[in-house]
Amino acid sequence: MRRLRNRRGVNVDQTALLIELEPVVAANLDRHLSLAKEWFPHEYVPWSEGRTYDGLLNGEPWKPTDSPLPDVARTALIVNLLTEDNLPSYHHEIATLFGRDGAWGTWVHRWTAEEGRHGIALRDYLTVTRAVDPIALERARMVHMQAGYNNDHPEEMMHSIAYVAFQELATRISHRNTGKATGDPIAEQLLARVAADENLHMVFYRNLLAAAFDLDPDHAMQAVTDVVAGFQMPGANIEGFQRKALSIALAGIYDLRQHRDEVLQPVLRQWNIFGRTDLGAEGEKAREELAAHMDELETQAARFEEKREARRLRQNR
């Protein structure tokens, strides 16, 4: 197999990589389709709890007391839904990078259709149960989608694949823990269903990058290091994200510990990052940088946990 150029800063031939990975995409697409379960958003929504809203149909305006959901669960649901809502931007990014032909194109469209279901289901649930202010939610959607989403590595396949592998797992964890935080078995069931989809998406991309590692270990290693070091959640440009992310972290729905130990580590382990013997000098250098970054994340995660515990004790006094 033809080797791809692999020095950092030198462009790897993206078209060659697309072609070389095509059979892997085809095999993993088949695997995905054999494992993905059909499901219906309408079955997850308690429609009979719904009431007409004010405005055109003269129903009842939304009030915060309409729903018993904890504030942080509402915040997390809003962040998760807005993140799902930006699907047209994500589709644009991956369709541009992967193309719309062959197995790549089939995957791009299938993935987009599955992701579309997530936003539909979450919005129906929130609207029917009156869990969040529907006007604020709609305005936030408009702002967020108009800002769009940009791939941090638009020219680089390996970076993009590494990013989505981590990001799919991050959304899985975030959806699942958001479900638990609602205290509502219906929301929990819905979010567990969505999380199961995200997990299959993660496996697809994780397998793809595993194959890329075999083609060009040094460049794949560099891509992983760059992506881990610069990782941001896909919804990071939501208005007020920092404040929302902090309350989500304080509630243990998604924090640095989970990011490091439940998102980054398991994927790095699957790629056998720290056991590989096929790296050249550039790959070794990138691996050392990654190890240092993971240590730094450990320190930061521990510090956050200490602060959170101190805060909890203060509040319980």
User: Could you list the residues that contact Fe ion (CB under 5 A)?
Assistant: 115, 118, 168, 198, 201
Q: How far apart are CA 51 and CA 59, in angstroms?
A: 7
Q: Is 156 labeled as ligand-binding?
A: no
Q: How far apart are CA 238 and CA 174, in angstroms?
A: 16
Instruction: Please state the closest distance from residue 119 (CB atom) to Fe ion, in A.
Output: 8
Q: Which residue lies nearer to Fe ion by CB, 198 or 226?
A: 198
Q: How far apart are CA 215 and CA 12, in angstroms?
A: 12
Q: Which residue lies nearer to Fe ion by CB, 203 or 290?
A: 203
Nearest to 206 by CA among 168, 232, 259: 168
Q: Is 168 labeled as ligand-binding?
A: yes
Note whether 175 and 78 are within 8 A (CB): no
Q: Which residue lies nearer to Fe ion by CB, 85 or 198?
A: 198
Q: How far apart are CA 317 and CA 305, in angstroms?
A: 18
Instruction: Please state the closest distance from residue 317 (CB atom) to Fe ion, in A.
Output: 40
Instruction: Please state the closest distance from residue 195 (CB atom) to Fe ion, in A.
Output: 9
Q: Is 115 labeled as ligand-binding?
A: yes
Q: Is 93 labeled as ligand-binding?
A: no
| CA angle in degrees (0–180, nearest 5) for 182-186-192 | 80
Q: How far apart are CA 148 and CA 142, in angstroms?
A: 10
Q: Which residue lies nearer to Fe ion by CB, 221 or 267?
A: 267
Instruction: Please state the closest distance from residue 198 (CB atom) to Fe ion, in A.
Output: 4
Q: Is 198 labeled as ligand-binding?
A: yes
For residue 37, the 8-state DSSP code is P
Instruction: Please state the closest distance from residue 160 (CB atom) to Fe ion, in A.
Output: 14
Q: Which residue lies nearer to Fe ion by CB, 106 or 300?
A: 106
Tokens for 119? 């936003």
The string of DSSP letters for 53-79 reads: BSSTT--BPP-GGG----HHHHHHHHH
Instruction: Please state the closest distance from residue 316 (CB atom) to Fe ion, in A.
Output: 36
Q: Which residue lies nearer to Fe ion by CB, 215 or 253?
A: 253
Which residue shows structure tokens 């972290």?
A: 249
Show binding-site residues for Fe cation: 84, 115, 118, 168, 198, 201
Show binding-site residues: 84, 115, 118, 168, 198, 201
